[in-house]
Structure 1
Amino acid sequence: MTATQLGVLFVDDESLPWETVADGVQRKVMTYDANLMMVKVRFETGGIGAAHSHVHTQMSYVASGAFAITIAGETRTVRKGDAYYIPPNVRHGAVCVEAGELVDLFTPMRDDFV
């Protein structure tokens, strides 16, 4: 990740490298400032976003694929075009049902991603 992603106005997706974060899961931070961060996450079928919680508000858009998303103990399958909301400090996780990508938005930005 480069410091130039901080507040970058136009993002060239192809120029950003993927970072492996788990088996079958990669991410790239697209752009951010102190208040908001956009992250693209790519999953292979069967890839797992382990259950966790954080202080950030999160909203996610399913750009492609299908995912079993669990939020506060409730699991639903979401597909391309769907979205979901995760309040701060709520436990959540994902299992990729069909290879695809999520676009995650966090507020405030995730210091732990940079």
Structure 2
Amino acid sequence: MIQGKTYFKEDENDWQKVGEGISRQVTGHNTQMMMVKVKFEKGSIGYVHDHFHTQASYVAAGKFKITINGKSEILETGDGFFVNPNLKHGAECLEAGILVDVFSPVREDFLES
């Protein structure tokens, strides 16, 4: 999770609990970009929120109902989505899984915890 670290190994990094049934691992970042793995248990909810960062996300595993700017889609392993800055968005986990989120610029708030 250290800025400038070249490699990330899952078993050498702890998961941070960030909500009921949701945890994350920051896999790497610099000042311009950050990649984060977010693990969801079935039924957990990433509540609707917004931020000034651009976000691109990939469904690495599972099934999710993703809502962006009031429109919802069901996405499964191999799918992805893109969120422009300041758009309201959220996720409902329908089948346990993992999202891989990329943010630009870095989410400083993720580094504070």
Q: Give percent identity, aligned residues only.
A: 45
Q: Secondary structure at the match of 1:112?
A: helix
CA distance in 1, matches of 2:4, 2:110: 15
Aligned CA-pair RMSD: 0.7
- Residue 72 (structure 2) pairs with residue 75 (structure 1): yes
Return the match for 2:23 from 16, 21, 26.
26
- Residue 54 (structure 2) pairs with residue 64 (structure 1): no
Q: Secondary structure at the match of 1:14?
A: helix
CA distance in 1, matches of 2:20, 2:8: 26
CA distance in 2, matches of 1:49, 1:17: 20
- What is the aligned length? 111
Structure 1 unaligned segments of length 5 or more: list them: none
Structure 2 unaligned segments of length 5 or more: list them: none
Structure 1 segments (4+ residues) deviating >6 Å: none
TM-score (norm 1): 0.95
Matches within 5 A, 1:41-56: 41-56=38-53
- Residue 86 (structure 2) pairs with residue 89 (structure 1): yes
TM-score (norm 2): 0.96
2:106 matched residue in structure 1 = 109
